Amino acid sequence: MNHLIDITDLNVEEIDDLIKTAKDIMKNKEKYSEKCKSKILATLFFEPSTRTRLSFESAMLGLGGQVLGFSSAASSSTAKGESVSDTIRTVSCYSDIIAMRHPKEGAPMVVSEKSRVPIINAGDGGHNHPTQTLTDLLTIASEKGKLDNLTIGLCGDLKFGRTVHSLITAMSRYKNIKFILISPNELKVPDYIKTEVLDKNNIEWCETQDIEEYIDKLDVLYMTRVQRERFFNEADYIRLKDYYILNKQKLENAKKDLSILHPLPRVNEISVEVDSDPRACYFKQVENGKYIRMALILKLLEIE
Ligand code: NCD
């Protein structure tokens, strides 16, 4: 069975193919509009979402398929005490492919063993978010024309930010990538990523708390939200939530061709005055998310 649980379930060639297909879909929407006729996508979201769930649904509808699902655990039998494995077993009788988001790290992997249909991890706790990473890779490839020889700054909640973990893992497979990890001390990239991903792949990286220290070196700046829902205490969240607020002044020394990405939702970490800067790519990124998910659905369903 083809599942997408971790970004490394796809090799670099497969990712290149997905990017190629996504770009083709953007140009030739008509050609793809019936590819998933009679196929059903289920979106099972045990955690809040706007973009991920709706882009999956929009992707399947754009391919001529249909969608069903739920957008909160409270409206499913989870509220009655059903296990997530039983839920998946049930929904795999009603659908051809399932995108699920769950607060527990590893939940999509565990249930994929029980599923009769492909499972896509649409975010598992503070762990991984591979389809956001596909979106990010398509955005970087489109903006930069390449996925190698880049200096990438990741800023904000690098501890709980699952998109950061998957993006570092994915980008570490390309040539000559350097990471600048910008976070408060309490929200640094977890050690397992430093040892198992960065150091193992001989990636150049450094840490700083100061967003302006290396801003002139960056090709990509990936901003993230402080992940309130993963904090153990509200006081820590309040202390850290506005640690970084990217504004025009902080971008003064940045490269003219910097690409500013953010998986969204944004809270305060990018001032709205940056939205009109030509370097802001986060709304293009939103649009890319639909097309790369169309490409992914086709791949997992083995549709040409
Ligand atoms: C991200 C997520 O859910 O991890 N959002 C998304 O899917 N675009 C980032 C976030 O919630 O901060």
**Over the stretch 276-297, which tens digit does the pLDDT of each residue have?**
999 999 999 999 999 999 999 9
Q: Is the CB of 263 under 6 A from ligand 1?
A: yes
From the CA of 227, give the closest atom in ligand 1.
Answer: 12
Predicted confidence (pLDDT) at residue 27 exceeds the cutoff of 90 = yes
Closest CA to 129 of 92, 82, 166: 166
pLDDT exceeds cutoff 90 at 33:
yes
Residue 69 backbone dihedrals phi, psi, to 5 degrees: 150, -170
Give residue 114's pLDDT band: very low, low, confident or very high (50, 70, 90): confident
3-state helix, strand, coil in the chain (%, to 5): 45, 15, 40
Is residue 206 within 8 A of residue 180, CB to CB? The reply is yes
- Which atom of ligand 1 is closest in space to residue 129's alpha carbon? 4
The atom number, within ligand 1, closest to the CA of 163 reads 4
CB-based contact 5:108 (threshold 8 Å): yes
Q: Which of 56, 68, 90, 136 is nearest to 297 (CA)?
A: 56
- Position 1 scores a pLDDT of 76
pLDDT of residue 18: 98
Please report the sign of the dihedral spanned by the C-alpha atoms of residue 125, residue 131, residue 133, residue 139: negative
Residue 202: CA count within 13 A, CB half-sphere: 2
Q: How far is the CA of 126 from the centre of ligand 1 (A)?
A: 10
For residues 224 and 163, is the Cβ–Cβ distance under 8 A?
Answer: yes
Residues 6+ apart with CB under 8 A from 176: 148, 149, 150
Task: Write down the pTM of the prediction.
Answer: 0.97
- pLDDT score of 184: 98
Element counts in the chain: helices (H) and strands (E): 9, 9
Residue of 301, 298, 246, 222 lying closest to 25 (CA atoms): 298
Among the atoms of ligand 1, which is closest to the Cα of residue 224? 12
Place of tokens 């929904």: 91
Domains of the chain, first to last: 7-128+289-300 (3.40.50.1370), 131-285 (3.40.50.1370)
Instruction: Indicate if ligand 1 lies below 6 Å from the C-beta of 163.
Output: yes
Q: What is the mean pLDDT of residues 116-124?
A: 97
CA distance 28 to 23: 9
Query: Measured from the CB, is residue 225 less than 6 Å from ligand 1?
Result: yes
**Residue minimizing CA distance to atom 8 of ligand 1:** 263
Q: Is 268 exposed, middle or buried (0-12, 13-18, 19+ CB in 10 A)?
A: middle
20-29, 70-79, 221-230, range with the lowest pLDDT: 70-79
**For ligand 1, is residue 241 a contact (CB within 6 Å)?**
no
Distance from the CA of 163 to the center of ligand 1, in angstroms? 7
pLDDT over 90 at 108, yes or no: yes
Tell me the H-state helices in the chain.
12-27, 51-62, 84-91, 107-112, 130-144, 162-171, 191-193, 234-240, 282-300
User: What is the position in ligand 1's atom list of the atom closest to the CA of 52?
Assistant: 7
Query: pLDDT digits over 133-147, tens only?
Result: 999 999 999 999 999
Within the chain, what is the greatest distance between any pair of CA atoms? 55
> Which of 170, 134, 152 is CA-nearest to residue 19?
134
User: What mean pLDDT, rounded, does the chain reach?
Assistant: 97
pLDDT at 226: 97
Atom of ligand 1 nearest to the CA of 289: 8
* Position 244 pLDDT exceeds 80: yes
Please tell me if the CB atom of residue 279 comes closer than 6 angstroms to any atom of ligand 1. Answer: no
Q: Rounded mean pLDDT of 204-218?
A: 98
Other C-beta atoms lying within 10 Å of the C-beta of residue 134: 26
131 lines ligand 1 (CB under 6 A): no
How confident is the model at residue 174, as a pLDDT?
A: 98
Cβ–ligand 1 distance for 132 under 6 Å, the answer yes
Beta bridge partners of 246: 270
CB of 53 within 6 A of ligand 1: the answer is no
Residue of 7, 50, 52, 165 best suited for mutating to test ligand 1, as the one with most atoms within 8 Å of CB: 52
Ligand 1: does its nearest atom lie under 6 Å from the Cβ of 162?
yes
